[in-house]
Structures are given as structure tokens and as C-alpha cells.
Structure 1
Amino acid sequence: MMQQEHEQQGSTPLVAAIDLGSNSFHLIVARVDQGEIRPVERLGEKVQLAAGLNAKNEISSEAMERGFKCLEQFAQYLTGFTFQAIRVVGTNALRKASNSDIFVQKAQEILGYPVEIIAGREEARLIYLGVAHTQADDNERRLVMDIGGGSTEFIIGERFEPKLLESLHMGCVVFTDRFFGSGEINSQRFQSAYYAARLELLNIEQAYSKMGWVDAIGSSGSVRAVSSILQAMGESEVITRESLEKLKKQVLKFSHLKRVRFPGLKPDRQAIFPAGLAILMAGFDALNIERMRYSEGALREGVLHDMLGRDHHEDVRQRTIKALMNRYHVNTQHASRVKAHAQTCFAMVADHWGLNDDDLELLIWASKVCQIGLDISHTQYHRHGAYLIDHSDLMGFNKEEQCQLAILVCGHRRSIPKSLMSNWPKETAKKLMRLLILLRIANVMSLGRDDTLPEYSIQASDSTVSLFFPDDWIEQHPLTVANFESERNYLYRAGWKLTVS
């Protein structure tokens, strides 16, 4: 089918998204046709990374191998096609795993594309985006609930804009292991799972109930399973409290996970169905949901639409940076000066240093938010700013982008935190150091509160940076020259030579 589609519509570009979920891995391939995303193929396989986490939060070698075999199939399928963009995202199990770097490195080798581990609320945002594109484009406020293998996301939004986002630490795989690990099903075990979910939901009940919604929508495997069972039983596909109670009574009759059988329930979901049902029932009761519809849209569809939005310059990361600046009262005039100098410096050395547009984007973000820590304290404000970035949910940013942004903010003044770069691959660490030098130069150039950019130039090598200014400008800016002298000493300790003339 895919080959025919490719031959018939070869002029329209392909995009793909891979979702490395805690329970299953999914691949979706789609065409971009007149600005619309049209799915042409979907692949998925049960991997259960979350079930492979031990007490130290290490993914077992067996679970990793299951994941690698699945990715090898995806890689083979992708071979032979030309893609406009491919994005790979990892969710709760990889967020939680202490050895996720080992899995990610091998996964990247298999796929040939970077793997992004996204934060819980970023996952929620992308899920909402995927669901919203399957719904009528009206102004009604909607609640979305997505039960995954390791986490459950709740979002309230209007049209394509999420208003409330939350990711709770409960999922059908981890709850199966926690409450049904022996395989036995009884009322006590089911109630324990239900009340554990209710305790998680206590954190969001008030805020979500206060905002309210008109329509409730469920996405992903557990909700799809319930909807499919109801349809196969000849009932309405709309999920109600009454239909959930009916399914619960039937589940308890099976007494063991191996005996769970429902019409419309896929064999690979039989063992995790009771835990998913308990979480869904807790969501209904905690948020007083009466009816819920199932949506085919979910995380991977949201990833596709997010990629398309970035191509059309509707990048949510820009809004996130702006929100940070507003929240922490950044001096926008000064931030604009730093940004202007950073862009000027970047343009002069980008080719020689092998920097690209993505690197420039990261540098610009850092130049805009490098002073957010001033809202806490003037002392060590670069460290405060890095902490805020490192521990915030930054919509649109993956874990790697967020960590790199925090490093640039932390290192934009005073001593250079080379230790923060030691855990990165050599080429990444080299790139970060070069961006850091450009940001530091831009920061020094902006300290004088002078909006006039002098005619200066930069020459750079692997360990040397030289700045050249007009003679009259140097004479008129002795404070800047003194700051560069201090900067020269900091860079020298980091193994770099800075000259200013």
C-alpha cells in the first residue's frame, strides 16, 4: 500500500514520527499535502520498556533487546523513502530510566535519527495537539485523558491550545506490575489500583474541575480497548460510568490475567487491561466525567503536527521563551542587545566552526533568557537562571534542548562550567563550548547599555578567538575593554585564548 501511495504521489513530501512509549513503540508515516498531514501507514509493536525497569530504575537487557528488534523493523521499513522530516520521541520509561543513555545511543545507531526524551507536560501538549486535529474545529473546551504504559496525561484545551497540562505517575504497565504482579485478579487488588490512581489525581482535581470542559475525549491503548470492547458487545462506543462498572464486574470474574478475554480486545492488551480500566475509572470518578469518546489522535500524530507547525514558523518554543521572559521580568531591551550581538558574532564564525541554524536558534534562546535568574537574586544569578530552566516544564523543548539551554545560561558569565559538558559526546561538548563563547562575548558587548553596534570583526580557530574593534571605539569604551580582560582570564582557564585589539 505504501509503495503504491509513494508512486502515485511522489511529488508530496513524506514525514514520520516514532513514539517510544512505555508499553508500545509506534511508527506513523504521513504525507504533507497542501499543508495537511495525511497518514499513509502505521506500525506498532508491544515492547513494554516500563516492565523492564528494576528497583534501581535500570532498563533490563531483555527489555532493551525487545526495543532494538522493533526499531530494526522500523528502520528497514523507512529505508528507500525520502523524508522531509523524521522525529523520534521517548516518554515515561526513558524519562525514568537511569540507563536511558545506553538505550538512546543504540536506538540512534539503528534508526539514524536523534532520539528526544520529552518531559511529561511536553508529552501532554503533543498528545493534545494530536487529539485536537481529529476533532471539530470549534470553540468548545475539551478534556483529554491519555493512559500510557508508565504515565497518564490530562489536558484541558480549546481548539488547538492547551490550557492545563499534567502528567501523572500512573500507567497500565507499571500498575499491572505493582498491583497484579502475580497475575491474580480480585476485588482487593483492583480497588488498590483504583485508589492509588485516585491519590495521584488529588493533585489536579480542584484545578481541572474549576476550569471545566464540555467534551471528554480519551486516547491511546487503554481507552481504545474499552471503546472497542463496547462496540464488539453491541453497545455504544461512548464510554460511560455504567459501561465501566459492567466491564469491571466481568474483569473480576476472570480471576487471573491470563484468562482475561473480551470481544474486541487484542491479545497483547489482555494482561494490562485491568490496570488500565482501574485508572480510567479513577479518572471518571475524580473528575466527575459522565461520558467519554475515543480519539484516534495521540502522541505520534501530535509530533507530526508539531513538526508541520515548526515548518510554518509556528514554533511553540518561541512562545515558551517569551513566557519565561515575562514570568521572570527580563529586561527586553537588554535581551535584544545580547541577541543582536550574539547573531553578529555567530554569522562571523559559523562556517569556520561548523555551526548550523539549529545552533543559532539555541544561541538566540539563551541570549533572551540568560538573565531570568535576576528575578531571584543578583548574586550568582546565572546559576539561578540555569536552575529555573533545568527544573521547569518548557513546552516544545525536549530534554536535550532544555539541558543545553541551561548550560549556556549557567556559563554565560563568571567561571565556565566545563564539568557540565563532560557528560556530552565530544562533538556536542565542542559545539556547546563554542556557543558559550559567543554568548559570553555578546553579554560583555551588551553591558554598556549602548544600542549602537560598532563595526567589529571576529576570527576564530579551534582554541583562539580574536576580536577587532575600531581604535576610536576602544578608547570610548574603557569599561568594555576591562570586562574583556576579565573574560580573557576566564577563557584561559577553560583552555581558550581571547585577544582584543
Structure 2
Amino acid sequence: MKQNRLAAVDIGTNSIRSIVIEVAASGKYKILDDEKVMVRLGEGLNQTGSISPAAWERALSALSRQKKIIDGYHVCSIEAVATSAMRKALNGPALVEAIKEKVGIEVEVISGEAEAELAALSAFHNFDLDGVRHLIFDIGGGSLELISAQGTHIEEILSLELGAVFLTETFLKSDPVTEPEHQKLRKHIRKTLKASFSPEECNSLQCLVGSGGTITSIAAMVMATRRENYDSSHGYELLRSEVVHLLASLARKSDKERRAIPGLNPDRSDIIVAGVTVVDEVMDFFGVNLLKVNERGIREGLILRGLQKLKLLPGEKPVRSWRASLLEYGRSCHFDEPHCLQVTRLALEIYHALAKRYSFTEKDRRLLEAAALLHDVGYFINYSSHHKHSYHLIRHADLFGFTPRERELIANMARYHRKALPKKKHEPYMRLSAADRALVGRFGGIVRLCDGLDRRRNSVVQGLDCQLDKHTLKLTLQGEEDLSVELFGARAKNDLFQIAFDLKLVIEAPGVVESEAESA
């Protein structure tokens, strides 16, 4: 038995998921195994009040297999919960007993409120919600859990019978869905939400954080439509307009046609219309345009709860921030911290000189800071082609506070800090939108230039005097030591900057004559 390994099992109305993790002394954990089986435990439950014999057997079969996988990892503890279907079924307690006897897993049937608390625990762990009033929600097969919160302070928890399986069986009996059926479903969702929340509670929400299979399916379908290729949908951001357009398309299609939609698991095709309708109505009801995708949700909440029980998390909750996450990741790759901090400082000086003209935003500044801090993490693999290694490391990094798109941009910006400029044959670069390619060129150009400004990696450039006119940016290097090498380094790496900004770059250093800069 390994005291730093833990498993969690989430027995839902639609699927059963198990996850095995290993935790480090710092409290951070890595996933060793992740198994999901679509069991449809809630199939026909609304009509009979009980879990069907077929669903019963599917559940025992899936759990037996998952238990064998878990045992192979020699975990010290298993956290197992069952949600809506088991709460509702008359024979739920009997199935809990059967799982204990035949599989060897003790299952806790939790309330909707406890389910919501697990979803909230995961959201607080994964998203920077400090000072933000938001709504966390999790859509399962049988129920919808909602948590309104200010920062990490929960205001209210509700569990509503608005799960995708339940609503499909209750309202959507035709294939394709008929308009009267769909309108009846919408009316029911609105009525349920209206009865649960006062008008005052609906105001001032700044964002939504959603979890569950419906949410990740929406993200996967939208990503496929955008032709985006990310490792996961965790942290992905969805706009209400995208949900509206997707729902309109799904509702017109038959189940057979939905099965062929890129990004949608065919096993979820029959319940996806009801699930997306719930998301659409929730976003409309609360008047929020942005939905953040939490790919982990309740199962991660289970893991975190289990780690707390076993006292495997630090005594004090760490303050999470995107900047701390960058530094933590850089240090894990043994990056040259003084050099990367110097490149970042100089990059931000140039950024501030250009920000107003080019209408850069605070989010843009974060991307530049991230790319500058992490541009050299590829040294962790080896020096040769370390810029390419930086791209792959950053792309796959778990950077707190950054979306999949933002990680892809940061990775591309870091990739172009040396060697070749962006080319049409560079597939990761060409996958980006035209606007994102322009941003990569500009910020990659700044990082590239500032890497040259610290050519000897000794931070001798103390500052930059930036003078911008219509066609030229003039940089005067400031420092007390000989700056000829840094001047030469910057001039050697100014190509991408000048192309991306369409500016002439003039770089000077007091006391350095041209011959010294050229021969350095």
C-alpha cells in the first residue's frame, strides 16, 4: 500500500468515473489513471422508480473492472460517492450493499448539496476567482447543482432536478426533437430557475464555471468547429453566442446525425440537446456571457476531500496566482531565473511604450509576461532546439489562470525567441487565427529582442529609454557597465519585432561606438 496514492470513484446517473492520483509533499498531485464508463444507471428511473436490472449489472461490471485497476496502484484509500440516480432509486440502498459485497468498494450516497460542494471545491482549486461574484454549476444525468459565491465564499447551494438524462426522458421523446417539445423543456427549466432564485440573486454575476459531461462536450464541439487542437478543454472559455448556435444545430439533427458531430461522444448524442438547453437557459437566466470549463469537477473535489482527510494537503491553503504558477513551473524546469526575470522586466518596459498605440489589454500583458518568464524552459530537455522544447513544455503545462488558447499563444511566443521566424510550414503557428498569429509575432518579437538584450545573462541593462514616433521605436540602453555585447545581441534579434510591428527599430547605448557593437 502506498500512503501517497488515492483513488476516487464518482457513480453518476449517466457514467461512472474513477481516478487514481499520487500526491507530492507539496500537496500537488499527478493523475496516474482515469477511467470512464457510460453506464446509464438512471435509464428508465423516472418511469419505474428503480434502477433497472440491466443498468444494475452494467454498474457492477464497470466497478469491478475499475476496482481491479485501482488495486493495481496499491492506493491507501478510495473515496467513492453516488449521486442523483442512487439518491432517487428505491433500490439504491440495495445496490450500494451489492457494490460493497461483490466489488469491495464502500459507496457514500451524497446529497445534492454535498455534490455541489465537491464541484465548488474543484472550481476554487482550479480558477482564480478572488473578488469575483460567480456561479459554479455541475450538470449530471439526474440533477443540476448550482453554487453562487463571492471569491471562495459560498453564498448559496441548490440542487435541482434538471439533469440531462432526466430531462430527455421527461420531455424529448421524438427524433429529431420537435419544436413544441423543445419549447416545453425550455419553459420547465426557466420556471424551475425562477422558483429557485430571486431577481436580486441573478444580478452582478461576472462569470460562470461549469463542469460535467455536457460542459466538456460543448467545449469539444466548439473547439472542433474552430479547428482548435488543445490537450484538453480544461479552462476553455465559451461565449453564450457559441452555445446558442450549437444548440440550434443540435436540435435540428436526428440522433444518428448528432453521432457524427466532431467532438461529441456518440454515447452522449441522445441526451446532449437537453444538456445544452440547460446551459443555454442558465446563461440567459443569469445574464452572463462567459462560461469557464472545469474539466475536473466532482471527481477532483472527491480527491481534494480525500487528501484533506488523510492530511496530505499543506496545513495552510496556498495562495494561488497566475504569476506564482509561472514561477513554480519555471523552477520545476530549473530555468535560469535571473535571466528570465530580466527578459520579462525589459519586455514589459517595451510593452508599456507600445500598449496605447496598439490597444493592448491587461490579458495581453499577462501573455507577454508569461512568454518572457518561460521562454527558456526548453533547456530542461537540452540546449539544442531548446526553443522548440519550450513550445511543447509550455503547451502541456498546467498553468493556473490560463486558458488552453492562452497556453498555446504563450508556447508559440516562447518558441520564436530564437532561430527561425514564423513560417507557413510551422503547423502549430498556422493553426492560430490571423489575430492570434499577429499577437504571437509581436510578443514573440519582444521576447526575442529582450533575450538579446541580456546576451551575457548578467542583467547589466538596467533600463530602457523608449521613444516612439510614427514609424520608429528608439531604444536607448541604460546601465553603468559596458553594454556593447547587449547592443549587438539586441540588433541581431530585432528582425521579428520590426516585421510584426512594421516599425524601424533604432537601438543605442551611451558610450558604445558602432565598431564596438559590430565586433562584440
TM-score range, shorter chain: 0.5 to 0.7
Alpha-carbon deviations, 1:344-380, whole Å to 9, x = none? xxxxxxxxxxxxxxxxxxxxxxxxxxxxxxxxxxxxx
Partner of 2:41: 49
Q: In structure 2, how many angstroms separate the alpha carbons of the residues matched to 1:99 and 1:59?
A: 7
SS of 1:185's partner is: coil
Alpha-carbon deviations, 1:113-139, whole Å to 9, x = none? 311000011100011111221113634
Q: Within 5 Å, give how 1:279-298 maps onto structure 2.
A: 279-298=278-297
Q: CA deviation at 1:104?
A: 0.7
Q: In structure 1, how many angstroms separate the alpha carbons of the residues matched to 2:296 and 2:164?
A: 19
Q: CA deviation at 1:172?
A: 0.6
1:77 aligns with 2:81: no
Partner of 2:251: 252
Given that residues 141 and 163 in structure 2 are in contact (C-alpha distance below 8 angstroms), is that contact kept between their aligned partners in structure 1? yes
Letter in 2 for 1:246: H
1:206 aligns with 2:193: no
Q: CA deviation at 1:210?
A: 5.2
Structure-2 change in CA distance of 1:119 and 1:211 (3 Å): farther
SS of 2:195's partner is: coil
Alpha-carbon deviations, 1:278-310, whole Å to 9, x = none? 111111111112111111221110011112223
Q: In structure 1, how many angstroms separate the alpha carbons of the residues matched to 2:203 and 2:311?
A: 31
Q: In structure 1, how many angstroms separate the alpha carbons of the residues matched to 2:129 and 2:244?
A: 32
Q: In structure 2, how many angstroms separate the alpha carbons of the residues matched to 1:49 and 1:225?
A: 20
Q: In structure 1, how many angstroms separate the alpha carbons of the residues matched to 2:204 and 2:266?
A: 36
Structure-2 change in CA distance of 1:208 and 1:49 (3 Å): farther
SS of 1:45's partner is: strand
Given that residues 80 and 108 in structure 2 are in contact (C-alpha distance below 8 angstroms), is that contact kept between their aligned partners in structure 1? yes
Q: TM-score, normalised by structure 1?
A: 0.57
Partner of 2:269: 270
Letter in 1 for 2:143: S
Q: CA deviation at 1:313?
A: 10
SS of 1:156's partner is: strand
SS of 1:70's partner is: helix
Partner of 1:24: 15
1:104 aligns with 2:102: no
SS of 1:153's partner is: strand
Q: What fraction of aligned residue pairs are identical, expressed as a percent?
A: 28
Q: In structure 2, how many angstroms separate the alpha carbons of the residues matched to 1:208 and 1:262?
A: 39
Letter in 1 for 2:7: A
SS of 1:202's partner is: helix
Q: In structure 1, how many angstroms separate the alpha carbons of the residues matched to 2:312 and 2:155?
A: 21
Structure-2 change in CA distance of 1:307 and 1:79 (3 Å): closer
Alpha-carbon deviations, 1:76-106, whole Å to 9, x = none? 1122332222111000000000111121111
Alpha-carbon deviations, 1:173-220, whole Å to 9, x = none? 111111223433122222222211111111333277357433211111
Given that residues 2 and 75 in structure 2 are in contact (C-alpha distance below 8 angstroms), is that contact kept between their aligned partners in structure 1? no
Q: In structure 2, how many angstroms separate the alpha carbons of the residues matched to 1:139 and 1:167?
A: 25
Which one of the candidate residues 189, 208, 229 is aligned to 2:181?
189
Q: Within 5 Å, give how 1:91-170 maps onto structure 2.
A: 91-136=83-128, 138-170=130-162
Q: Within 5 Å, give how 1:226-245 maps onto structure 2.
A: 226-234=218-226, 237-245=236-244
Q: In structure 2, how many angstroms separate the alpha carbons of the residues matched to 1:111 and 1:208?
A: 48
Structure-2 change in CA distance of 1:48 and 1:124 (3 Å): same
Structure-2 change in CA distance of 1:73 and 1:135 (3 Å): same
Q: CA deviation at 1:38?
A: 2.4
Partner of 1:363: none
Given that residues 143 and 156 in structure 1 are in contact (C-alpha distance below 8 angstroms), is that contact kept between their aligned partners in structure 2? yes
Q: In structure 2, how many angstroms separate the alpha carbons of the residues matched to 1:117 and 1:125?
A: 14
Given that residues 210 and 294 in structure 2 are in contact (C-alpha distance below 8 angstroms), is that contact kept between their aligned partners in structure 1? yes
Partner of 1:451: none
Alpha-carbon deviations, 1:407-438, whole Å to 9, x = none? xxxxxxxxxxxxxxxxxxxxxxxxxxxxxxxx
Partner of 1:311: 310
Structure-2 change in CA distance of 1:211 and 1:87 (3 Å): farther
Letter in 2 for 1:276: G
Q: In structure 2, how many angstroms separate the alpha carbons of the residues matched to 1:57 and 1:266?
A: 28
Structure-2 change in CA distance of 1:73 and 1:47 (3 Å): same
Q: In structure 1, how many angstroms separate the alpha carbons of the residues matched to 2:109 and 2:5?
A: 23
SS of 2:198's partner is: helix
Q: Please identify, of 55-64 and 20-29, the stretch whose mean Cα deviation from structure 2 is larger.
A: 55-64
Structure-2 change in CA distance of 1:37 and 1:203 (3 Å): farther
Q: CA deviation at 1:46?
A: 0.5
Given that residues 194 and 281 in structure 1 are in contact (C-alpha distance below 8 angstroms), is that contact kept between their aligned partners in structure 2? no
Given that residues 123 and 297 in structure 2 are in contact (C-alpha distance below 8 angstroms), is that contact kept between their aligned partners in structure 1? yes
Partner of 1:60: 52
Q: CA deviation at 1:157?
A: 2.5
Count of aligned residue pairs for this structure pair: 305
SS of 1:22's partner is: coil
Structure-2 change in CA distance of 1:99 and 1:92 (3 Å): same
Structure-2 change in CA distance of 1:113 and 1:166 (3 Å): same
Letter in 1 for 2:201: S
Which one of the candidate residues 140, 143, 163 is aligned to 1:171?
163
Partner of 1:377: none
Partner of 1:351: none
Structure-2 change in CA distance of 1:61 and 1:54 (3 Å): farther
Q: CA deviation at 1:160?
A: 4.2
Structure-2 change in CA distance of 1:218 and 1:46 (3 Å): same
Structure-2 change in CA distance of 1:151 and 1:14 (3 Å): same
Partner of 2:405: none
Given that residues 133 and 297 in structure 1 are in contact (C-alpha distance below 8 angstroms), is that contact kept between their aligned partners in structure 2? no
User: Please, what is the CA RMSD of the aligned residues?
Assistant: 2.3
Given that residues 185 and 257 in structure 1 are in contact (C-alpha distance below 8 angstroms), is that contact kept between their aligned partners in structure 2? no
Stretches of structure 1 that go unaligned for 5 or more consecutive residues are: 1-9, 315-501
Q: TM-score, normalised by structure 2?
A: 0.55
1:221 aligns with 2:213: yes
Given that residues 176 and 251 in structure 2 are in contact (C-alpha distance below 8 angstroms), is that contact kept between their aligned partners in structure 1? no
